[in-house]
Amino acid sequence: MKKIILMMFLCFLMSFGTLLAAGNIKFDAKKFVDKTLELHDGASVKYRAYENIYYVGNVVDSVCQTLNIFVPESAFKNNKNTPIFLKTNVGGYRASKASGPSAKDATGRALQEGYIVVIPGSRGSDSKIKDSEGNNLYTGRAPAAIVDLKAAIRYLRYNKKTIPGNTDLIITDGTSAGGALSALLGASGNSSDYEPYLSELGAAKERDDVFAVISFCPITDLEHADMAYEWIYSWANIQPRGLSPYHFDVAEELDQRYPEYQNNLGIKLPDGTALTTNNYLEYLKTLIADSAKKALDKGEQIDTQTGVTIKDNEIVVDLDAYLAYIPTIRSLKIPPAFDKLGVLEQDATPENQLFGNSKGEPANFTDMGLKLAKDDFSLTVSPEMKKRVYLMNPMNYIGEAGAKTAENWYIRHGAVDRDTAFQVPVNLALKLQNIGYNVDFDLSWGRGHMGDYDLDEVFEWIRKIVAVN
Ligand code: DHB
């Protein structure tokens, strides 16, 4: 009996704790300022700005764990059906701050289109605070960024009665590391895997799934990205990359390990054929041809240096020439492209920082990276590291039981982007499509590693998915 009373008391304390945390994150609908955003075309949009709002009960980082909400004049009233355009500013997996809407990216356009714009900050690999002894404590190592962004979404839902906009129509947008986080938000909605981290932050007990994802050049599937990169660029190791004999061996090792991963992924082409390393290059040619066709249709020229030519009204892709053309714009990453720390030199990539520890030390996060770094092939990364890496990969959550994956996906990767292998965004898009999600994927002709371009196309897509909802 005593035990039961104690349990009841503990439960009461726990629920009181959540209430307290949630009590701190109540939206104040009266606290806004009026602002105007000047747009490129001489137009401007008036909006209400609700800024510097803490979205968790237990704030760890008072600079990054805030969000801003912007409401365009057209949505001052009757906005309960207005979609919410949520943009993450994350780049390089570093900390990001909530900013104002900008005429230079999709946020300005979203305001102009009449959408509610939400810009949350989030902790990142360089986030740090001082501990009680005055030492640096890094608080934004993985999975902090995705936990923060989920907490921001939960904040919106928790306050849905008073917050402008329709929280069933949240559309996320991000580029590069931000594109990866946008995709991860979309893939892993409501997954209980993140719950311990969210609870610790005093995040609202709410859903964190989203309606749609816009993901530009996502730097994702990090545990397989090194192999994917060496497989597609293996030809380049002979000449243009100028690799040392050691790096050459590393590249070969990674290249050879890729087929096993790809061929067991179970991804199918739109016609149902299995996508493997045997037909991948042919498929890539069709994607590049489609990209060139779209550019031609818009009246752009196709530079023959790209290895793409038009013969008898047919687009012909010389893939070797095309892949050789890419590094003439920006040189390739040195292998391993992502888990580089300690492999020949002590370079730490943004990903080594992402998976680093709270003392500020970067870390290897793949078995292969660790083996190479320590020159010990018996080593594997710790279960704790494996779990953190798992939590950062949308591929693990798409269509899985326990996760609510977004219905709508707009994914773009620049056709000359060398920051990650083409297979990374292609696999992401096909995996989603195979399961039946609504996916709009293209390689964007002539584009490198960038995002928020072709905004006419982006907002046309948004209009369509909102209309059929
Ligand atoms: C970004 C770019 C990279 O090449 C990378 O490895 C990680 C992040 C970025 O621009 O966000």
Task: Judge if the beta carbon of residue 425 lies within 6 A of ligand 1.
Answer: no
Q: What is the dihedral of CA 228, 229, 230, 236, to 10 degrees?
A: 140
On whether the CB atoms of residues 62 and 126 are closer than 8 A, the answer is no
In the chain, pLDDT over 90 holds for what percent of residues? Answer: 91
Token pair of 122 as six digits? 């989030």
Task: Judge if the beta carbon of residue 208 lies within 6 A of ligand 1.
Answer: no
Look up tokens 């946008």; give the residue.
182
Task: Judge if the beta carbon of residue 219 lies within 6 A of ligand 1.
Answer: yes
On whether the CB atoms of residues 261 and 224 are closer than 8 A, the answer is yes
pLDDT given at position 248: 94
Task: Judge if the beta carbon of residue 91 lies within 6 A of ligand 1.
Answer: yes
> Which residue CA neighbors atom 9 of ligand 1 most closely?
92
Token pair of 235 as six digits? 């030809």
Ligand 1 pocket test, pick from 419, 449, 452 with the greatest ligand atom count within 8 Å of Cβ, gives 419
Token pair of 425 as six digits? 């965004």
Determine the Cα–Cα distance for residues 356 and 450; give it in Å rounded to an integer: 26
**Average confidence (pLDDT) over 55-59:** 97
Q: What is the mean pLDDT of the chain?
A: 94
Closest CA to 389 of 205, 207, 225, 215: 225
Distance (angstroms) between ligand 1 centre and the Cα of 320 equals 25
Token pair of 424 as six digits? 């990374």
Distance (angstroms) between ligand 1 centre and the Cα of 95 equals 13
| pLDDT tens for each residue of 212-228 | 999 999 999 999 999 99
Ligand 1 atom nearest to 175, measured from its CA: 11
Residue 279 pLDDT > 80? yes
Closest CA to 250 of 141, 123, 139, 377: 377
**Average confidence (pLDDT) over 189-205:** 98
Task: Judge if the beta carbon of residue 339 lies within 6 A of ligand 1.
Answer: no
Residue 118 pLDDT > 50? yes
pLDDT given at position 238: 77
Look up tokens 């002979």; give the residue.
238
Residue 23 pLDDT > 90? no
pLDDT given at position 239: 72
Task: Judge if the beta carbon of residue 37 lies within 6 A of ligand 1.
Answer: no
Residue 128 confidence class, pLDDT cut points 50, 70, 90: very high
**Average confidence (pLDDT) over 145-164:** 98
Per DSSP (E only), the strands in 274-419 are 308-311, 314-317, 408-414
Task: Judge if the beta carbon of residue 177 lies within 6 A of ligand 1.
Answer: yes
Task: Judge if the beta carbon of residue 419 lies within 6 A of ligand 1.
Answer: yes
What is the number of other CB atoms lying within 10 angstroms of the CB of residue 306?
Answer: 21
Ligand 1 pocket test, pick from 90, 93, 122, 220 with the greatest ligand atom count within 8 Å of Cβ, gives 93
**Average confidence (pLDDT) over 25-43:** 95
Task: Judge if the beta carbon of residue 237 lies within 6 A of ligand 1.
Answer: no
**Segment holding 186, helix H or strand E:** helix 177-187
Closest CA to 118 of 79, 161, 163: 163
Distance (angstroms) between ligand 1 centre and the Cα of 177 equals 6
On whether the CB atoms of residues 191 and 48 are closer than 8 A, the answer is no
Distance (angstroms) between ligand 1 centre and the Cα of 92 equals 5
Sign of the alpha-carbon dihedral angle for 165, 170, 175, 176: positive
